[in-house]
Amino acid sequence: MQSGWWVHDLYESSPVLLASWVFWVLLSIMLHELAHGWAAIWQGDNTPRDLDRMNLNPLTHMGPTSLIFFALIGFAWGMMPVDPTRFRWGRGGEAAVAFAGPLMNIVLALISLTALGIWLARGPVDTQIYDNLQIFLYAGGWLNFFLAAFNLLPVPPLDGSRILAGLSRPAREIIESPPVMQFGWMAIFALSMLGFFAPIERFCRLISIEYAQRVAMIFGA
């Protein structure tokens, strides 16, 4: 019976899936933000280190509000403070630092799905651990592909808007205008309510399955 609280409902469906979801959301957001921090430091900005943000504490990267939202509705976000005025490449550096987060998610997806493909080919079939690890690795794969695609949308405050602003002066003027900056999250919420992200999620699931199956074919040959 559905309770309306995602934790209860997901646990009733699959405790392994719930544990996998919590693990991957927390890890993926932390590493996404750390990637921004590493890229900023590489660009000459030590703000992430100066503010003691280069660690694996979820509270550091997500904050209490994000963690509360995650507990309530399964949605969370993170933030890494940087100072673009210190970047060696100027606006190009801003684009590079912004892209580092989604790139980390793509890397995590590929690692998880490569491991899934190998497990499908070589793991002990018809065992509980075989099924559970499939769930865990698949969740990490499609979720990180989705996080990369979501963050690359050119809507403030998502990374895609910072990439576009770093590469195009006209786009920067539009993105940094007060109305656009102010209503970015409202646009994201509206798109979510209209089902805009559902096809993106389905596509991420499909390419995750396709990639894992191809890896399994290679290692199962």
- Residue 165 included in any domain: yes
Is a pLDDT exceeding 90 seen at residue 184? no
Flag whether 115 is in a domain.
yes
Kindly state the percentage of the chain with pLDDT values over 70. 99
Lowest mean pLDDT among 8-12, 76-80, 189-193: 189-193
33 catalytic, yes or no?
yes
Q: Please report the pLDDT score of residue 172 as a whole number.
A: 93
pLDDT of residue 18: 96
Catalytic residue among 33, 94, 173, 201: 33
Q: Is residue 169 part of a domain?
A: yes
Q: Does 181 fall in a domain?
A: yes
Domain assignment of residue 139, given as a range: 6-220
HEC per residue, 13-34 = HCHHHHHHHHHHHHHHHHHHHH
Query: In the predicted model, what is the mean pLDDT of residues 50-64?
Result: 96
Prediction pTM value: 0.94
Q: Is residue 1 part of a domain?
A: no
Asked if pLDDT for residue 198 goes beyond 80, the answer is: yes
How many domains does the chain divide into?
1
How does pLDDT run across 116-159, given as a tens digit for each residue? Answer: 999 999 988 778 899 999 999 999 999 999 999 999 999 999 99
Residue 199, pLDDT above cutoff 90? yes
Residue 58 lies in a domain: yes
**Within a domain: 134:** yes
Percent of the chain past pLDDT 90, that is, above it, reads 86
pLDDT at residue 221 greater than cutoff 60: no
